[in-house]
A and B are shown apart, each in its own frame.
Chain A
């Protein structure tokens, strides 16, 4: 975290919307890229990112000064994604007479064309998020664990298994 970012966070905590706007400018690209690859749908991901920033603005006063802003923000984005996904699953369950259990439902989120997109889309959401965070956005395992609210060991396992599974799906050696 840069010094200026720390200042903007303090100012935003004191109620400065302008300082928060600078934080939005600083982090929107990474958060949207993460959510876009997680959802597979750019419009939905951008909507989630907007919601995440709006919620972050409401809660920023409670952000502990010792915590990094970025993992905290990504944690909000991840929870928003899961909330949306749960809502979508409930909707699909209501509408699908053939859905007997949650695992059998395939969410219509990945109209992807490239091999890697297909392969990433086939990973379970937790695994996909862990892979994108650690391998795609260079978060540490500990930061990813904080974002995803999962134990550190689980995140490491998700990353390893996700990477192996991607390699297998792409026909490469891990």
Chain B
């Protein structure tokens, strides 16, 4: 049954198929991108759900403790700073 070996070998592409290797790398990158997007989406969803769940408590803390001390402007500034820092941390982890 050496004919089977010849049969399989006759279907083999060239040994150095740069185009194929490039396509594989491209597909690896696409899959990595899709997975990252999915992970980010899930994190965002989890964060949204957590925020919704914690909203009554946060509201109470804000009214009773923070509002008398800091104003709305400072709160927004703090939130922006937190989001920016989180983004930088995630970016550092990716690299």
Binding site for B on A (CB under 8 A): 17, 20-21, 24-25, 28-30, 32-34, 36-37, 42, 46, 49-51, 53-55, 57-58, 116-117, 120, 131-132, 135-138, 163, 166
Q: Binding site of A, secondary structure by majority: helix, strand, loop or mixed?
A: helix
Count of residues in B whose CB is under 8 Å from the partner chain: 23
Binding site for A on B (CB under 8 A): 1, 3-5, 7-9, 11-17, 20-21, 23-25, 27-28, 30-31
Cα A57 to Cα B27 in complex, Å, equals 10
| A21 in contact with B21 (CB, 8 Å) | yes
Q: Binding site of B, secondary structure by majority: helix, strand, loop or mixed?
A: helix
| A163 in contact with B20 (CB, 8 Å) | no
A–B pairs, 6, beta carbons within 8 Å: A32-B11, A32-B12, A33-B9, A33-B13, A37-B11, A57-B28
| B4 in contact with A54 (CB, 8 Å) | no
A58 → B minimal CB distance (Å): 7
Q: Which of B1, B15, B20 lies in contact with A135, CB distance below 8 A?
A: B1
